[in-house]
Amino acid sequence: MAITVREVLRYLHEIAPTDWAFPNDPVGLQIGDPSQRVERILVALDPDPRTVTNARYRDCQLLITHHPLIFRPISHVRFDDPVGMAVQALCEAKIALIAVHTNWDVAPGGINDTLAELVGLQEIRPFGKGPSRQHYKLVVFTPTEHTDAVIDAMADAGAGIIGLYRRCAFYASGTGTYEPMEGANPYQGQVGKREHAKEQRIEMLVPSERLEAVIQAMLRVHPYEEVAYDIYPLQVRGEHMLGRVGALPKPMLASELREYLAERLGNPYVRVYGKPNKLVRVLAVVGGAGSEYLADAQRALADALLTGEVRHHHTWEAWTRDVVLFEGGHAETETPGVIRLAERLRTLLAPHNVEVFAQGGDS
């Protein structure tokens, strides 16, 4: 049974939430109708006219690409330039377009995790910059005997996730006091009489997109007629860092590592900048255009950095920082992660009988 573009967006949000994207990165639905039915999807690196032709050939209703088609506001759509041609072809074929860019770069199992695994890194850890996310701290006061029920409800609605831990909460005992007025139906106490109640102050972290759902879940299970709770805005920085760094299977000279990476990436034209005789034990990776992460790689104690494409001034910065810089090809460093995204979607959408194809893969 087919599903809609809107429902596919929800599945993508589970894999790589849109607020994991870097500022001004236009991820999400770029072209199309959220209510459009979807039976076949093509996942690809770029939304270029050739890719759109492939999507049309496969009779797809949805194209999901890593790179956005419309990256900056455009003042015109001309059918004689590449962006306009792609827009025209997508609209004519009624194919929706979704971009999953830096949110997939940073996501667990995304572009850079896939690249790190591809080149055989061990003891992989994140490094570099990460997007800021708007969070809130929700504080609520509840009778002691209802502490677990309130925490469970909030956690099930999306609160209390810190890294790889869920249901993270802090609570402390205290005393609440109140005086029910006429017409009140107090959980404890009587109208007109001052009451003192043993309560727990519960604090949980809530991402912005889950705030209303968490509040409603908390209110449904809370025993009080009038619930006292506070919301504090927070800014959580670098929660999901872009790059990955880890140990190579064995130490290699930079010249040897170039040959190894060329084989792993399937690109004989991998370039190396820096000292060819430097021994590399720890390698940092950033798919796509990531040569600006040289300083971050150095701080992460990496001997070398692999990325897709390199700016000229970073070629001599690599010598200065004594961090060998490898240029492995933009597509070569990101396509494996695009194929991984198609595989994840294929599994998630299997119950809906949606076909998912990967451009650059075997299907």
Which contiguous run of DSSP H or E holds residue 347? helix 330-349
Please answer whether residues 222 and 150 qualify as being in contact, where contact means their C-beta atoms are separated by less than 8 angstroms: yes
Please answer whether residues 253 and 275 qualify as being in contact, where contact means their C-beta atoms are separated by less than 8 angstroms: no
pLDDT of 1: 65
Tokens of 5: 């573009």
User: Could you report the average pLDDT of every consecutive run of 10 residues in the chain (363 residues)?
Assistant: 91 90 92 96 96 96 97 87 91 97 95 98 93 86 97 96 88 96 94 95 92 96 96 77 96 97 98 95 98 96 98 96 97 98 96 94 52
Spatial CB neighbours of 296, under 8 Å, sequence gap ≥ 6: 127, 128, 129, 243, 284
Residue (of 33, 40, 42, 34) closest to 91 by Cα position: 33
Burial class (CB in 10 A: 0-12, 13-18, 19+), 83: middle
Question: Cα–Cα distance between 363 and 198 in angstroms, integer?
Answer: 61
82: left (phi over 0), alpha (psi -120 to 50) or beta: alpha
pLDDT of 209: 80
The topology under which CATH files domain 133-236 is: Alpha-Beta Plaits (3.30.70)
Was domain 3-100+335-358 assigned CATH 1.10.1380.10?
no
DSSP 10-43: HHHHHHS-GGGSPTT---EEEES-TT-EESEEEE
Residues 39-59: pLDDT tens digits? Answer: 999 999 999 999 999 999 999
Question: What CATH number matches the domain at 111-130+241-328, 3.40.50.620, 3.40.50.2300, 3.40.109.10, 3.40.1390.30?
Answer: 3.40.1390.30
DSSP 125-180: EEES----EEEEEEEEEEEGGGHHHHHHHHHHTT---BTTB-S--EEEEEEEEE-P
Alpha helices in 16-110 (DSSP H): 49-57, 82-93, 102-106
Backbone angles phi, psi at 198, to 5 degrees: -75, 125
CATH fold match for the domains 3-100+335-358 and 111-130+241-328? yes
Residue (of 283, 354, 318, 344) closest to 111 by Cα position: 344
**190-221 burial code (b ≥16 CB/10 A, e <16):** eeeeeeebebbbbbbbbbeebbeebbebbeee
Contacts 24+ apart (CB under 8 A), 12-17: 12/64, 12/98, 12/100, 12/345, 14/348, 15/104, 15/107, 15/109, 15/341, 15/344, 15/345, 15/348, 16/100, 16/103, 16/104, 16/106, 16/107, 16/110, 17/103, 17/207, 17/209
Sorted by where each begins, the domain ranges of the chain are 3-100+335-358, 111-130+241-328, 133-236
pLDDT of 73: 82
